[in-house]
Amino acid sequence: MKHVISILVENKVGVLSRITGLFSGRGFNIESLAVGETENVKMSRMTIVVGGDDAILEQVRKQLGKVIDVIKVTDFTGKGHVARDLMLIKVNAIAGKRSEIVELVDVFRGKIIDVGQKDMVIEISGPEERLEAFLNLLRPYGIKEVARTGRIAMSRGLK
């Protein structure tokens, strides 16, 4: 099972290394990692996607709570949350095929952020499944390069 874990930490040197060490030390492969400052520059939010056994992951969560620089740990698994990934794709875009690519970008609510003579760069965000579907539709045109962020997540507002 995939777990999406949000960790609010003090914005200090070495925190990322200590946190990821807890996961790797127990044999968890981090599938996605995104880190950035929050609304408070003294804090950062780490969003980690990891697959694995629920019981062992619960132990990791408890150990995360004991790390001095950790302020709060939230496992979004099974809870109401919104999550997004961001992807940049450089795709072959010869003159006769550009309009087809533009239509695909529009359908997936992406943006064309750069156009060259032979290629274009597209920005798209959304759930991982949507990004994968978009990539699969672009493959016949020839994907030159892909850059992806890790997933970011936030709990839904109170009802």
pLDDT in tens, 118-132: 999 999 999 999 999
Determine the distance from the C-alpha atom of residue 40 to the mean position of all C-alpha atoms in its chain, rounded to a whole number: 21
pTM: 0.81
pLDDT band at 24 (very low <50, low <70, confident <90, very high): confident
Q: Which CATH class is domain 2-79?
A: alpha beta
Other C-beta atoms closer than 10 Å to the C-beta of 77 total 13
**What residue ranges do the domains of the chain occupy?**
2-79, 82-155
Q: One fold for both 2-79 and 82-155?
A: yes
Mean pLDDT computed over 133-144: 97
CATH of domain 82-155: 3.30.70.1150
Residue 159 has pLDDT above 60, yes or no: no
Q: Which residue matches tokens 């200090």?
A: 12
Neighbours of 74 (CB within 10 A): 18
Checking if the pLDDT of 60 tops 70, the result is: yes
- Which band of pLDDT confidence, cut at 50, 70 and 90, is reported for residue 158? low
Q: Report the C-alpha gap between 155 and 158 in whole angstroms.
A: 9
